[in-house]
Chains A and B, each alone.
Chain A
Amino acid sequence: MKQGFFHDFRNIDKTTVLIFVVMLFIGWLNIYAAGYKESHNSIFDISQNYGKQFVWILIAFVLGFTVMLTDVKFFIAFAYPIFITIMLLLISVLLFGTEINSSKSWFQIGGFNIQPSEFAKFATALALGKFISSIKSKTITFQNRIKAFSLIFIPFAMILLQNDAGTALVFSAFVFMLYREGYISGLLLSFAVTAAFLFILTLVMNEFIIIAILSIIAIIAAYVLRNKRKEIFLVLGLFIIMSAYVYSVDYAFEKFLQPHQKNRIEVLIDSKIDPLGAGYNLNQSKIAIGSGGLWGKGFLKGTQTKFDFVPEQSTDFIFCTIGEEWGWAGSFVIISLYLFLLIRIVIIAEKQRALFSRIFGYCLAGMLFFHFAINIGMTIGLVPVIGIPLPFFSYGGSSLLAFTVMIFVFLKLDAKRLDLL
């Protein structure tokens, strides 16, 4: 059932492409605003981040186009070889890579830096799609579950070895796909949410207060359920488990986290602890965004963008520029664009007849969401400072190209959905 290339271009989801292009353009303008220098005032100035980003955007377009021209079966057929190649790259970057910001995860080529771990997300999505869609049995065996988790754990561990915890954490974004495909239960998901909630609560509050609160809740629940013996034991059991968890989190936090990781979490609680370290970023970031007001200060008018108030302004903290110069209105537009894109991807994924395509779509949506939630969350002080970019907005080629490839592979899969089973 071969059809011409133009058929695919006609069938491509134009809404997604439009959002993609709009996001890149807005992102580029904000990188310009973030790094704006009077002496280099051309947005195409290749010596500056914004000029380089323009090159990356051009490369992204070419790459997207190339993906559309590629036979979609290539990605399915070569899912494992691609995965293995990228895994080898992850090993070699550990050996031969360059260390930037204490993460040994970069290859330096010319004036540009390439981060293989960004492409590991794509490779893992392919491999997971290939593996899960190839399972013949109707029920999910424990063995297969372990295999699927291993596909995620291998790149996760290697990126963690590169001391790039932020990128490694992105691999937890596969939970959305795993949940959708039934590999994890709703109970597990709620457990995870509760655990995360308690984790942050532990760091914010004294553990005794939390346990006191938990006790009160347990007593009330026990009173409500006083006639149901079985449930009372369940409540009691949960109470004990949660209390133990709170204690162990506190202990682990003090004992196992590296100072800078600990710091990043601590400052989330009180940004005054280290106003010049991680807390400094957060403080400055909140000030920059907060000073934007409802309508923002206007393009290139952000005062906090000057003088590097917010370090890594054009990369991880690009949302500060948006918040400062475009205000809440601008933030609303950006968040809406993201939400729209995420829902669009989920809707398209659900339209797929091929399981591979749907899995791939949910992987993409999960990772985009994770980046979005963590990145913006950290700039507004809701999430610890984790150095991951805001896709399509942050300066940087690796993340942009990786997500471009994923989006266009997904759109290509979608264009071909009638041919794929």
Chain B
Amino acid sequence: MLNQQNVNAFNYRKRIIIAIFLIIAVIYLGRLFQIQVLDHSYKASASSNITRHITNYPARGLIYDRNKELIVYNEPYYDLMVVPGQIKNIDTTEFCSYLGIDNKTFKARVLKAREFAVHLPSVFEKQIPNEEYAILKEKLYKFPGFFVQPRTLRRYSKPMAAHIFGYVAEVGPEITKNDPYYKPRDYIGISGIEKSYEEVLRGQKGVNIILVDAMGRDMGSFQKGKYDESAVSGTDIFLTLDAKLQEYGEKLMQNKRGSIVAIEPSTGEILALITSPSYDPNLLVGRSRASHFRDLQNDTLRPLFNRALMAQYPPGSAFKIVNTLIGMQEGIVTTNSRYSCPGFYRSGNITVQCRNHPSPVDQISSIQYSCNTASSIIFRNTLDNSKFTSMQQAFNNWRNHVLSFGFGRIFNNDLPYELPGLVVSSEYYDRIYGTRGWRSLTIISLGIGQGELGTTPLQLANLAATVANKGYFYTPHIVKAIENIDSINPKFTQKHTTSVDSIHFATMTNAMWQVTLGGTARFARIEGIEIAGKTGTVQNPHGENHSVFIAFAPVENPKIAISVVVENAGYGSTWAAPIASLMIEQYLTGEIKRSWYEKRILDAYFLKPYPEVKQ
């Protein structure tokens, strides 16, 4: 089989074949040497990562009120980006004229961008509004190296409820460091529901991956967009807020310091949450956000202070509701109780003043006329009950009743930065007076809602709602529904029952009804609507008394519970009660028939120079 001739004839060819193998190997090694060692452009390409990730920013979720009225939406804005390495032969003067900056600013910004990265985009001008962009858009082709990135910013259909909405700003370095979701230039909710529902509202960022060449030039999308993700807009939110009522309440509170909180008793849904003075939420949006924020911070009227959740006032006479209910529950106050009032309550060297009213009073009329004498007796009898072995025990029993109404702690609801108010413990008095050094008379001011007691307007509104519900409340909350999420946080549908039996609340409801029928708040009566309320006139170290009123209406099957605090305005009956009355009228009837009555409130001015307040 061996073909000797062939072997000999073509034997040399093995060398040619090996030579071909060798030549190719050498050519390849040479070529590899060229691209791997000699040519540095490939390394540059690889280090600039070849792809560039352009974030697609999602629009935040929209916010509607309880009647599906759009109150917070988004408006397109544009971030002008610059890639310094790509700026080529541009007319700087013309460019600057579109942006309203001078050449020096232009140079400084380009230099700053260049320091960050020559071939990567950085922000040249943030948040250019649509109108300005429309002019720039036409001319942008003349300025290679510049491009715009669309963003959205918040817009508010009405200049109201700033404290509820909170605001959105770019994330700070602390957050980007600790939370991998956030990258510089992302937006995040800083306060209000923008903060508490950040994860719902923020949506999902997307990304466009584009291919760039060694010079960082856009070469089209990477892998035909296979890895691109479009941004998913944030989820819409429906608030419990009634936008009309909120707007009206803010109008009523103009030129006043204070707060209105309205709650739907049957659900705990907050219908209105007004803090005054406030500000237009549109101020904290866009390029001037920082400067506006500084102005608001320096404003002596302290518009950034969210009084509805953070101001802690002694409740004054409004607290007689709580004390009387506790007295009823403890068997101290009964249908047979009668208190005769000489115009003051005196025990030892302590005197509590009262006002002129029919005497004696019973469990109903003591509330109706807000009798300090009766309240002092009831409070003392509650504490001096012989069933208690010590003052501490008696006090803590009373205190636990108070706490069951939601006082002294935060509701921990969906509104951030809430303060707990103040219901001191027995240890507090022990520290001041010694364990045996205090008795019911020592703390008698608690009986009329003064002294070491702090309640927020939200807690007072919740008290009204609790009475309206005859003994229980739902955690007051601001968000009614989240799109695509079936149920709202279950803790908001959980009933919180007070330690007082509901039968006593029926009596209290009657008493509070009498307040508006023929008591301290006669002035708050509305034709055709039965209102149960209680005035409060709160002494405070800042001057004129705070005017306080809490109420709910209608008495049968209440639809709204409300608290009104007007700082340094005087009697609860003169200012707070009429404001509550107007709010109730607005909410229940949708219109105001008493224009003279309304005008008196609108014209009132209580923004006197304000001494430093302790929070």
Interface residues of A (CB under 8 A from B): 133-134, 138, 176, 179-182, 186, 272, 275-276, 280, 284, 286-294, 303-304, 307-309, 311, 323-324, 327-328, 331-332, 335-336, 338-339, 342-343, 346, 350, 353-356, 362, 365, 369, 373, 376-377, 380-382, 421
Within 8 Å of chain A (Cβ to Cβ): is B485?
no
Chain B contacts for A182, CB-based, 8 A? 6, 9-10, 13
B45 touches A287 (CB 8 A): yes
Q: Among B6, B36, B42, which residue has its beta carbon within 8 angstroms of that of A331?
A: B36
Chain B 180-210 near chain A by CB (<8 Å), digits 1 or 0: 0000000000000000000000000000000
Look across to chain A and name the residue whose beta carbon is closest to the beta carbon of B36: A328
> Which of A180, A289, A339, A381 contacts B13, CB < 8 Å?
A180
Q: Are A354 and B18 in contact (CB under 8 A)?
A: no
Contact A291–B39 (Cβ < 8 Å):
no
Count of A-B contacts judged by CB separation below 8 Å: 135
Distance A289 CA – B16 CA, assembled complex (angstroms):
30
What are some 27 contacts across the A-B interface (CB < 8 A)?
A: A133-B1, A176-B17, A180-B17, A181-B6, A182-B13, A272-B219, A286-B35, A292-B36, A293-B43, A303-B46, A304-B50, A308-B223, A328-B32, A332-B29, A335-B32, A338-B25, A343-B18, A350-B14, A354-B2, A355-B1, A355-B6, A356-B1, A362-B17, A369-B20, A380-B31, A380-B32, A382-B27
A327 CA / B36 CA spacing, docked (Å)? 7
Complex: A181 Cα to B9 Cα, angstroms? 9
User: Is B21 positioned at the interface, with any CB of A under 8 Å from its CB?
Assistant: yes
Nearest A-chain residue to B21, judged by Cβ: A342
- B residues near A336, Cβ cutoff 8 Å: 25
Residues of A within 8 Å of B5, CB to CB, are 138
The CA-CA distance from A398 to B49 in the complex, in Å, is 34
Is B266 positioned at the interface, with any CB of A under 8 Å from its CB?
no
- Whether A287 contacts B42 by the Cβ 8 Å rule is yes
Q: Which residue of chain B lies nearest to A292 when distances are taken between CB atoms in the complex?
A: B36
Q: Are A346 and B14 in contact (CB under 8 A)?
A: yes
Q: Residues of A contacting B16 with CB < 8 Å?
A: 179, 186
Give the Cβ gap from B257 to chain A, nearest Cβ, in Å. Answer: 57
Chain B contact residues: over half helix, strand or loop, or mixed? helix
Which A residues are CB-close (under 8 A) to B46? 287-288, 290-291, 303-304, 324
Shortest Cβ gap from A366 to chain B (Å):
8
Q: Quick one: which of B25, B39, B47, B211 contacts A339, CB cutoff 8 A?
A: B25
A134 to B10 alpha-carbon distance, docked (Å): 18
A380 touches B35 (CB 8 A): yes
How far, in whole Å, are A330 and B21 apart by their CA atoms in the complex? 19
A287 cross-chain contacts in B, Cβ below 8 A:
42, 45-46, 50
On chain B, the residues within 8 Å of A290 by CB distance are 35-36, 39, 41-43, 45-46
- What A residues does B42 contact at CB under 8 A? 286-287, 289-291
Q: How far is the CA of A335 from the CA of B211 in the complex (A)?
A: 31
A186 to B15, CA, bound (A): 13
Interface positions of B from 542 to 600, Cβ below 8 Å from A: none
- A135–B223 Cα distance when bound, in Å, is 54
Q: How far is the CA of A395 from the CA of B51 in the complex (A)?
A: 26
CA distance A362 to B9 in the complex (A): 17
Q: In the complex, which residues of chain B have a beta carbon less than 8 angstroms from the beta carbon of A327?
A: 36
Chain A nearest CB from B37 CB (Å) reads 5
Q: Are A138 and B211 touching (Cβ within 8 A)?
A: no
Is B293 part of the binding interface, using a Cβ–Cβ cutoff of 8 Å? no
Choice from B10, B22, B49, B227 contacting A181 with Cβ under 8 Å: B10
A244 to B39, CA, bound (A): 38
Please give the distance in Å from B3's CB to the nearest CB on chain A. Answer: 6
Pick from B25, B28, B47: contact of A380, CB below 8 A: B28
On whether the beta carbons of A369 and B36 are closer than 8 Å, the reply is no
Contact in complex: A275, B219 (CB < 8 Å): yes
Please report the C-alpha to C-alpha distance between residue A380 and residue B43 in the assembled complex, in whole angstroms: 15
Nearest-Cβ distance from residue A120 to partner chain B, whole angstroms: 23
Give the docked Cα–Cα distance between A179 and B9 (Å). 12
CA distance A290 to B13 in the complex (A): 36
| A418 → B minimal CB distance (Å) | 13
Question: Which residues of chain B come closer than 8 Å to A369, judged between CB atoms?
Answer: 20-21, 24
Tier of interface size on chain B:
35 or more
Q: Which residues from chain B contact A292 at a C-beta distance below 8 Å?
A: 36
Is B224's beta carbon under 8 Å from chain A? yes
Residues of A within 8 A of B28 (CB): 335, 373, 376-377, 380, 382
A294 touches B36 (CB 8 A): yes
Which residues from chain B contact A332 at a C-beta distance below 8 Å? 29, 32
A369–B18 Cα gap in the complex (Å)?
Answer: 10
Per the bound structure, the CA–CA distance linking A377 and B311 in Å amounts to: 77
5 further contact pairs, Cβ within 8 A, besides A286-B35, A287-B46, A303-B49: A307-B51, A307-B227, A335-B25, A335-B28, A346-B18
> In the assembly, what is the distance between CA of A332 and CA of B17, in Å?
21
A334 CB to closest chain B CB (Å) equals 10
Q: How far is the CB of B209 from chain A (nearest CB, A)?
A: 9
Chain B neighbourhood of A180, CB < 8 A: 10, 13-14, 17
B33 interface residue (CB < 8 Å to A): yes
B173 adjacent to chain A (CB < 8 Å): no
Contacts of B211 in A (CB 8 A): 275-276, 280
The answer to whether B17 and A179 have CB atoms under 8 Å apart is yes
The reply to whether A309 and B50 contact each other, CB–CB distance below 8 Å, is yes
Closest to A336 in B: B25
CB <8 Å contact, B47 and A289: no
B8 to chain A, nearest CB (A): 11
CB neighbours (8 Å) of B29 from chain A are 328, 331-332, 335
B437 close to chain A: CB less than 8 A: no
A133 to B13, CA, bound (A): 18
Q: Does B220 contact A (CB under 8 A)?
A: yes
Distance, CA A176 to CA B19, complexed state (A): 12
Considering the chains assembled together, what is the distance between the CA atoms of A241 and B477 in angstroms?
Answer: 90
- Give A321 Cβ to nearest chain B Cβ, in Å: 13
- A291–B32 Cα distance when bound, in Å, is 11
Contacts of A354 in B (CB 8 A): 1-2
B2's partner among A284, A307, A335, A355 (CB-CB below 8 A) is A355
Tell me if A291 and B43 are in contact (CB < 8 A).
yes
Q: Which of B3, B21, B27, B219 contacts A138 (CB 8 A)?
A: B3
Within 8 A of A (CB), among B435-480: none
**Closest CB of chain B to A217's CB: distance in Å?**
22
Our pick among A176, A293, A355 for the contact of B36 (Cβ within 8 Å) is: A293
Closest to A362 in B: B17
Q: Are A421 and B10 in contact (CB under 8 A)?
A: no
Using A286-B42, A289-B35, A294-B37 as known contacts, say yes or no to A276 and B6 having CB atoms under 8 A apart: no
Q: Hey, which chain A residues are within 8 Å of B2, CB to CB?
A: 353-355, 421
Q: A413: shortest Cβ distance to chain B, in Å? A: 14
Q: Separation in Å of the A51 CB from the closest CB of chain B?
A: 24
Enumerate chain B residues within 8 angstroms of A311, measured Cβ to Cβ. 223
Q: Please, which residues of chain B bring their CB within 8 A of the CB of A309? A: 50-51
How far is A362 from B11 in the complex, measured between Cα atoms in Å? 13
Interface membership of chain B positions 220-246, coded 1 if the CB is closer than 8 angstroms to chain A and 0 otherwise: 111110010000000000000000000
- CB of A294 to closest CB in B, whole Å: 5
- B229 CB, nearest partner CB in chain A, Å: 14
**A291 CA to B39 CA in the complex, in Å?**
9
Contacts of A346 in B (CB 8 A): 14, 17-18, 21
A265 to B541, CA, bound (A): 89
A residues near B24, Cβ cutoff 8 Å: 369, 373
Contacts of A362 in B (CB 8 A): 17
Q: Tell which of B29, B43, B46 has the most Cβ of chain A within 10 Å.
A: B46
